[in-house]
Structures are given as C-alpha cells and as structure tokens.
Structure 1
Amino acid sequence: MIEKCRALWQVLSLKLVLLSSLSACTTILILHTFTMALQLDSSNPANLVQGAVWFSVAFVGFVLVQLVFQRSVIRLTETTIKTVRLDILDAVRHARLQMIEQFGQERILSAIAYDANTLSQLNQFVALSVGHLFTVIAALIYMFVIAPLGALLALGLIALAVTAYCLRFGRIHQGYERAREAEDSFFTHLHDLLMGIREVKQNALRNDSLYEQHLSRDASAVQHNKIMAECRFAHNQLMLMAALYLLAAVAVFVAPLWFALSPQQSISFVIITLFMVSPFHSSMELFRVLSQLQVSQHKLAEIKQLASEAGEQGVASSAVSFTQQLTLQKLMFEYDQGFTVGPINLEVNQGDIVFISGGNGSGKTTFMRLLSGLYAPQSGQVWLDNRPLEAAQLLAYRQLFSGISADSVVFANRYGQPMGEAQINQWLDKLALSDKVQFRDGRFTNTRLSTGQLKRLAMVQALMEERPILVLDEFAANIDPQSRQVFYRQWLPTLKEMGKTLFVITHDEAYFDCCDSHYLMRDGQLHPYPTQPLSLVKSH
C-alpha cells in the first residue's frame, strides 16, 4: 500500500489535488441544491428561484473547474509520455555500446512503445480517479451533516468493503506482473520475426515454430493473465457497488422501522448514496491503475537505471586532434565470457591504409570497436600525436572516426552532418548512385537499394561526417569482382589522397598490396601479417 501511495504521489501535483477538491465541492453543492429543493415547498416561487440561483452558481463553478482540470490532466498525460520516452532515449544514447548489446533492442523498444504509453494513459486515469475519490469524501462529509447515524453506517460498510478489496488485490497485481513479463517475451519474438523475416519465410519449420510455439504462446499468456486480473478486479468492483446498493436499501427498508432516520433524511441519504455509486466505483479503480502503474514504472526505471549506470563520462567537444600519429599501447578488453582482446600495440601514421585480417571469432570486430572508441579499454593507453588520451576525452576521440560494417544503417535524414548538399550529390555521382538516389531537402530520396548499392551509399554517409579516420569492416565482401577492384584500386587511393587514414578488415588476398601495413588478428592478439600463407582459423 505504501508503494501505491508513492506511485500516486509521483503522478499528482498540488494543482491537480486542489482542482480535484474544488471539483468535488462544486459537485456536492449541485447535489445539495437538489436535495434541498426536494424538501422545500415547491408551491412557493421564491424557494424555487433561490434553489435555481444556488444551482446556477454551483453549475458554472463546476464547468469552469472541470475545464481547467481536464486540460491539466491532458497536459499531464502528454508531458509524461514525452518526458519518459526522452529520458530513456537520452540515457540509452549515452550508455556504453556493450550495455545496449547485452540488454537487447527489443526490451528497450518494448518499454518505449508499451510502458511509456501505458504510463501516460494510467496517469490520466489516476488523475480522474482521484477527482472521483475527492467527490466520495465530500459526499461522506455532506452525509455526516444531514444524517450522522446513516453516515456512520455508510462509513463502516465502505471500510469493510475496501478492506476486503485490498486483501484480494495481491493476486490481481501478480496477474499484471505476469502479463507484463509475457509482453517482454512477445516483443522479443516479434523482433526476431521482423528482423529475420527473410529467413523465417525461407524455412517453414522455423516459421511455424516461431508463430505457434512462441508468438501465439506469449499472446495467450498475456491474454490469460490479463483476463484473470481483470475478472478478479471486476468481482471486487461488484462487491463495492453491491455494498452501496445494500446501504441504500437499509435506509429505505430498515431505518424507518427503527425510526433512525426521518423521511427527509432518508430521501437525502438515498440520493447521496446512489450518487456515490459511480464516483466510488471509479475511485476504487485507483487500486488497479496503481498496480499497472507500478509494473510499468518498474520496467522503465530498470532500463533507465541500467542505462544510467552504464553511462559514459566525457564531453564530445573536448579538444583532440590527429595530424601525425595514432598509437595503441597495451590496449586490452575482456568479455564477461572470458574472451580477451589484447594487449594491442600499434602505431599508425596519418594517411596510412591499414589492413586487418583474421578468422571468425578472432577479435577483429572487437578490436575495431576498441580502436574507434565504441568500447572503452579496460587497460592500456591511446596516444594521439604523442599525447596520452584521457578517459574524459573518449567521446571526443570517437568523433575522429567514421565506420561502415556489414550491419551498418543508412539514414535517409542528414541528422546534423556537416557536408553540403552539392558535395553529397557529387559523391553520389562519383560512386555511380546518382541515377538511383539524390540528396534533397536534407535527406536521401531513396534508401531501398541492392546490397552493393547500399554499401556505396553507406560510404557516402561516412564521407558526409568529414572525419579523418575511416573504419571499413568487410566492405568489399559480397560485391561483384569489378566493384571490388574499383574499391581497392581507385577508392582507397582517392581516400588516402584526401588525407583519410583507413583501417580495412579484408581477406581479399589479390589486393593485399593496396595497403601501407597489414596485420593478422588471431585469438585476440594482433600480429604483423606473415609473409608465408597461414590459416586464419582459431587454434585451440
């Protein structure tokens, strides 16, 4: 219960509490004008005029307060979803790359798409339910004024029903938690379906298994747990509403026998009791809503905390320069599974073309991520122009690099890259893409291209960044022989003439003469490439 109160307080503001109180007061004032009018002599016009005046005042106040209240709730809802999404995305974009890789894109997307939206909707419902709760409280206070004995009976019955409600609510909360876990699993398998749609369609067994044994199972688990939770909640709500109707029945059929209430008090008591049914029903929705709110908040807080704990320190605008030499000294990185890359020792002059070769799993990609600052080294030192790189300069150091890998994403939008539109279109023409795509109004006109064309477009994107160092991971793989020859014999020399320093992962032996230096990655160690043929397969 304490956690639910904390969750409620995080949603509400003092302004909403005050508006809820004012709304409840104007509602009770309207109710009071009706109950008083029913007890006055209707044959006297003065009584009717007086009642109508009070009703008009209460009605205008109610409308004005509700207008402000509804706008505040809408603003709260939209502000919440914006704030939550941007907070998570800001934490994610500043988190270390290996944390994002380990956590999984699908869990982040699930939180942003599902939990943030759920949180905003629930916030709106919480605010409305709190308004109804204040109305119930005001109605009980009013009931104490006109029929104290009946109010005590009502308060006792409501307290008993609410206690039973709370005792039964634990299983409802468990149902929502299980449903949310099933949602995570569903999004994971949905990610597999969408990202691997070609492989799924190619293999009927995989297709059927993914859909029937995973997606359908997860969807059924979400359905089952939500149905169970909602049904239990509906039973609780029915119990509360039944308690109020029984209370009205007592006032009508039992109280007159005991002479506990006068006829006028009975009428007012029944009107107030029946009036409370709807707001009391809505206010008790708070328990269900706060339970869902806790589940979503927990998921969002978990992601934000992990991303924040894995946040990178440093400023991208810190001054670093590379005009002469890049040196890696005893650079090391170790995975949790135990595989270690390093210690790496390497000296590269500005404008060099460096080839890296090695078998699968030898550590080439990890080395490239270390080299380009995407992974922070666990030990060792990077030197730029004979100056040691400080830990706080890692983000600035990363800005020296542009990279292209097998899974690189080509963005249609410019996203702040400095190269001018005319120069971008010149590169599109040089790379034989101008007949397929143009750059206009800050974006590429087409990114639905063949594999080879996308690689060339990725090269244009990398050049748009105007960075001094290019990292090309298997760029020439899966392209036709003529394009491969153009890449090695024309593009690399052109980029070198532009002053670019190039690190190229390659296994194309026919073009090993196109580099200034060549290294072999083997079992996480970087060696000068041997002059004699050597197997690239890991030796264990």
Structure 2
Amino acid sequence: MKNNAFKGKNTRMVPVRLMVGYTVLAVISGLSGFAFISTVNKVISMSISTDISRQLNFYLAIFIGATIIFFITRRWLSAGIIYLSQNIYWGIRRDVINLVLKAPYRKLQEYKGEVYSTLTADVANVTNASFMVITFFSAIILIISCLIYMAFLSLILFGISCCVIVAGIALYLLRSRKSNEQFKVVRELERNFINGFNTILGGAKEISVNPKKGTDIYEGYLSDIMDRGEKTNTKAFLKYLNSELISEMLFYSLITFILIYSGNIFHIPLGTIVNFVFVLLYLMGPIVSVMTIMPAMNRATVSLKKMSELRTALRSSTEGYDTEMAGTEKYHGFRSLEIKDYSFSFGEEKFSVGPVNMNINRNEIVFIHGGNGAGKTTFINTILKLYDIEDGKVYVDGQQVPQDEMDCLKSMFSPVFSDFFLFDNFYGIKDVNLEKAARYIRIFELDEKVLIRNGRFSTIDLSTGQRKRLALINALLENRPIIVLDEWAADQDPHFRRKFYKEILPMISREEDKTIIAITHDDRYFHLGDKLMKMEYGQLIEINKTQLDNV
C-alpha cells in the first residue's frame, strides 16, 4: 500500500547496536556496583584479621575507579534510556496517528475511545516503564553478581538464602497474578472514562444550558467508573505492597537466622558470616527495587498488548485502501457522473439505503430533500466513500469506474457536513489562491470579521452560520469539481440564505465550474436547482420540476 504522505514519518526503530550497547552499559554499571561492595567486604575482613594500612592506597584506587566507572556508565545508560523512552513515546504516537489517518471513517469511529486511551494512558505507562529499565537491569546484574559472590563465601548459606529468595519470589508472583488482572480491568475502565469525558466536552453547550445533563453523566456514569477504578487500582497496588512486605520479612528472618544460629549449626567463621550478612543487606536494595518496579512493568505489558491489538485492528482495516489513489485527479474533468444501484445497510435492524440511482452532469445544481431518517446523509456518506457500499457501480462520462479505482472518486468531492469541522488553516491545499480566498470572504460577507493572515484565517471564533461560510470557502479552495452540502443553509439568516440560493450557488456552478449536490429543506428555493430529488425510505426519486407546486 502506497502513501506518500507518510514517507519519512514512520516510527523510528532503535538500532540493534544501540540495544546491545545499552545492555553492555547495564552489565558494566551493575558490575561496578558489585565491585564496590565486594571491595568494602574485603577491606572489612582484612581490617578484622590484619593490618591493611600498607594497602590503603590500593583499595582507595579501587574505590575511586569503581565509583568513576559506575558514574560514567550510569550517565551514558541513563541518557540512552531517555533517548529510548522518548523514541517509544513519540514513535507510538506517530505510528497510531498515521494508522488513524489511513483508517476508514467507520472503523475510526468504532475505535475512537481506544485511540484516545492509547495516546494518553498506554503511551504514558510504556514510557514510565522504559525509564525504570535502567534500575531494573542494573538491579538484576547486581543480584546475580551478589549471588555468585555469596556462593563463593559459603555454599551452605548460599543454598539457604536461595531457598528463602525463591520462596519469596514465588509468593510474590502468585499474589501478583490477581493484581495483573485488576490492572487489565482498570485499563478497560480508563477507556470508558475517556468516552464519558469526551461526551462532556462534545456536549459542553448543551450541558451549559441544562447542567442536569452534566450531573447525570458524572453521577450516573463517570462517578461509578472512577470509584471502581480507584478501588481496583488500590487493591492491585496493595497486593503488590503486601507481597513486597512479606518478602522483606522473609529476608530479615534469613539475616537473623544466619547471624544467630548459622555459626553454631554449620561452624562457619564469624568473618564469613559478617561478610555474608553484609552482602545480604546490600542485596536487599536491588531485590526491593525489582519488586517495586514490577507493577509498572506489568501495567506497561497490559498497555503494550492493548496497543498491539489497536494497531492490528487499524492495519487490517486499511488493507485494500490506497490513500495515494484517493488523492488522484483522474476524474476531475468529468462531464457526467452516474451512480447505479448503490446500496448500503448497517445496524442490527439493517437500516438500508438503496438501490439508489442518480445521474448528474457537470455544473448542475442538484437538491435532495426528504424526511428525517430517510437516508439522505447516509447516501451522501456512501458517495463520499465514508461508508463502503455493498453493491453498485459508477460511470464517469459513460465509462464504468473499475473496482480498484473506486477510491479515486473520493477526490472529486469537497463536502461541508451538517456536523462540519472548521480547520483554521488551509490544510491539504497547495498554493492557496489568496486573491480568490479574499474574494470569497467578501462574497460571503465576512470581510469585516475575517482576514487571511500568514496563510490562514485570522479567526474562526464566529457564529455557527459564519463558520459554515468559512468551511464552504475552504471547500471551494480545494478546487475539486463537486461540492457536497448537508443542510448548509440551515444556520444562515434569512438575508444570507436568500443570497446563497439566488447568487452564490449559481456563481459557484457557472463561474467556478462546480457541480453542487445539496441536501436541503428550503422548498421555496427548489425551483432554482437543475434537478430535485427526494429520498424516501432509502430510495432516491427524481422529481419533475413541473410537480414543484405539489412538493
């Protein structure tokens, strides 16, 4: 699948050599920490048994060397992990956004909440976990080194310690299973929370007028989600905390046993016991670090799984969809466009539109009217390829459009939807004709409120009707042959509505060489169209203009 828009924008992958380098640095950092503690142990042992004053400079050099190596490797490793974490953070966002831009409209609507959750909570979880990788792997290296050193000091005490450590780890892992399940529950609650919050943002005007709506959303929906999320998260973290404390108690019990009983039972020298206990005490820090990091790593694992599922779903939805083909101007010079036997259905009750037949010629003004729920907007969405048709053919200038070129048709249309979104910049329009844009602004009576500055509208903080005018100006500047309008004039005042039908539409059609398909209920202006069509129960019927009095 080709897509020039995304060339050079793919998620950056961390080179293998960098990962190997980070691993080596982690090993060196852990070993330098171990060298420090083993040297301390050696100095303590020698201080108890002999005079080491002659070797103080030697051990001082070792201490300084181990400290410098630890500092340098930790600094390089930390910088590398910062690079890696930012690569992950922005790389995932870049990847998801690219997939979103290529995903079909209906699939995107289905996964909207999941996309928000991925770009916020999931990315944060993975990034936070990546920061902890430094501590985690350094701790693992230190633990392994300490265990080897403990085996060197005393195999008997090493065996006892391993049994206790394994028992603690097993207990920790068993108890953490339920915590992991609870993290999954919280992740689903997070998605529902995002959906509810978006409802508040999307319905802000309605909530402002009727605050009870907001109260119902909060108390009847969001409050329960937040309470469950708080309780579930708290339980999960408490389970980890309890497991950590139990493991620490086992550790303290082990140290107590070794100090009080091991000398008498196993006849181990006091110096060896002191060294062993000292290493155990030092080992406790890395073990606690690993246990503390585990919840974050598990949350990151849940998030990675969710992100993988989202990516798979979005990628599968883009199969067969060619954004490069959709941007071609192959059919922009059309003279006639015929839609034949278009049909579409969705929902449990299988609401259907079609089969629909429509024939329009260049520069025609086509009005479509019909009752609410008749299927007008759904039909428009099918010809704009927002919905995939189940059946139907398209003919341009009498020639059938091949199936593999159907996406080309999308580039013929510039729509202004009833629930339009107004961009403050001329995105997707190369070489904007600023002179023409200024002319449109005058024609649409916005010249006292809006200017073109730095290649964009000076403001979009306008009334809904005025914003719709800017949206239509933007559509005209895209320079596509067919303008599609869904109830465009509904938010215009009577003066401008009259001007729109009597002056602007003819100007767009004749002077700007555009074809217009407009969904409208303004029956007093139906006679100004070249064709009038009625959508009723999913069927599109052309009405003879001589029958307008009956309409």
One-letter code aligned to 1:80:
I
Deviations 1:349-381 (A, max 9, x none): 111111111111111111111112222222111
Paired residue for 1:326, among 328, 333, 337?
337
Query: 2:3 is matched with which residue?
Result: none
- The answer to whether residue 468 in structure 2 is matched with residue 432 in structure 1 is no
Q: CA deviation at 1:410?
A: 0.7
Query: 1:525 is matched with which residue?
Result: 539
Aligned 8 A contact 1:237 1:281 in 2 = yes
Q: CA deviation at 1:446?
A: 1.2
Q: CA deviation at 1:319?
A: 5.5
Q: CA deviation at 1:19?
A: 2.4
Q: CA deviation at 1:237?
A: 0.9
One-letter code aligned to 2:54:
A
Please provide the CA RMSD for this pair.
2.2
Question: Partners in 2 of 1:252 and 1:534 — Cα distance?
Answer: 105
CA spacing shift, 1:510–1:410, aligned 2, 3 Å: same
Aligned 8 A contact 2:128 2:296 in 1 = no
Aligned 8 A contact 1:421 1:440 in 2 = no
Question: Partners in 2 of 1:121 and 1:256 — Cα distance?
Answer: 45
Q: CA deviation at 1:532?
A: 4.3
- The answer to whether residue 83 in structure 2 is matched with residue 75 in structure 1 is yes
- The answer to whether residue 39 in structure 2 is matched with residue 33 in structure 1 is yes
Aligned 8 A contact 1:23 1:62 in 2 = yes
TM-score normalized with structure 2 length: 0.90
Q: CA deviation at 1:43?
A: 4.8
Aligned 8 A contact 1:332 1:342 in 2 = yes
- The answer to whether residue 486 in structure 2 is matched with residue 473 in structure 1 is yes
Query: 2:10 is matched with which residue?
Result: none
Question: Partners in 1 of 2:100 and 2:178 — Cα distance?
Answer: 34
Matches within 5 A, 1:437-448: 437-448=450-461
- SS of the equivalent of 2:229 reads helix
One-letter code aligned to 2:527:
D
Aligned 8 A contact 2:329 2:412 in 1 = no
Aligned 8 A contact 2:169 2:247 in 1 = yes
Q: CA deviation at 1:188?
A: 1.5
- The answer to whether residue 391 in structure 2 is matched with residue 383 in structure 1 is no
Query: 2:209 is matched with which residue?
Result: 202
Matches within 5 A, 1:248-259: 248-259=255-266
CA spacing shift, 1:458–1:66, aligned 2, 3 Å: same
Query: 1:362 is matched with which residue?
Result: 374
Query: 2:518 is matched with which residue?
Result: 504
Query: 1:220 is matched with which residue?
Result: 227
TM-score normalized with structure 1 length: 0.92
Number of equivalences: 525
Deviations 1:168-191 (A, max 9, x none): 122111221222222122112111
CA spacing shift, 1:122–1:390, aligned 2, 3 Å: farther
CA spacing shift, 1:46–1:420, aligned 2, 3 Å: farther
Question: Partners in 2 of 1:400 and 1:260 — Cα distance?
Answer: 91
Paired residue for 2:140, among 122, 126, 133?
133
Q: Where do 5+ consecutive residues of structure 1 fail to align?
A: 1-9
Aligned 8 A contact 2:337 2:361 in 1 = yes
CA spacing shift, 1:441–1:472, aligned 2, 3 Å: same
Paired residue for 1:488, among 476, 486, 501?
501
Matches within 5 A, 1:55-66: 55-66=63-74
Paired residue for 2:355, among 328, 343, 349?
343
Question: Partners in 1 of 2:469 and 2:267 — Cα distance?
Answer: 89
CA spacing shift, 1:278–1:413, aligned 2, 3 Å: farther
Question: Partners in 2 of 1:118 and 1:422 — Cα distance?
Answer: 49
CA spacing shift, 1:257–1:88, aligned 2, 3 Å: same
Deviations 1:363-415 (A, max 9, x none): 11111111122222221111223332233323332112111012111111222
Query: 2:11 is matched with which residue?
Result: none
Question: Partners in 1 of 2:464 and 2:101 — Cα distance?
Answer: 28
Question: Partners in 1 of 2:548 and 2:441 — Cα distance?
Answer: 38
Aligned 8 A contact 1:320 1:393 in 2 = no
CA spacing shift, 1:74–1:154, aligned 2, 3 Å: same
Aligned 8 A contact 1:129 1:285 in 2 = no
Question: Partners in 2 of 1:517 and 1:39 — Cα distance?
Answer: 101
Query: 2:475 is matched with which residue?
Result: 462
Q: CA deviation at 1:461?
A: 1.4
Q: CA deviation at 1:482?
A: 0.6
- The answer to whether residue 412 in structure 2 is matched with residue 405 in structure 1 is no
CA spacing shift, 1:243–1:116, aligned 2, 3 Å: same
Q: CA deviation at 1:506?
A: 0.8
Aligned 8 A contact 1:110 1:184 in 2 = yes
One-letter code aligned to 2:232:
N
One-letter code aligned to 1:232:
K
Q: CA deviation at 1:292?
A: 1.0
One-letter code aligned to 2:473:
V
One-letter code aligned to 2:351:
F
Question: Partners in 2 of 1:346 and 1:357 — Cα distance?
Answer: 14
- SS of the equivalent of 1:477 reads helix
| Range moving further from structure 2, 197-206 or 219-228 | 197-206
Question: Partners in 2 of 1:447 and 1:123 — Cα distance?
Answer: 41
Query: 1:53 is matched with which residue?
Result: 61
Identity of matched residues, %: 26
Aligned 8 A contact 1:318 1:393 in 2 = no
Question: Partners in 2 of 1:385 and 1:370 — Cα distance?
Answer: 20
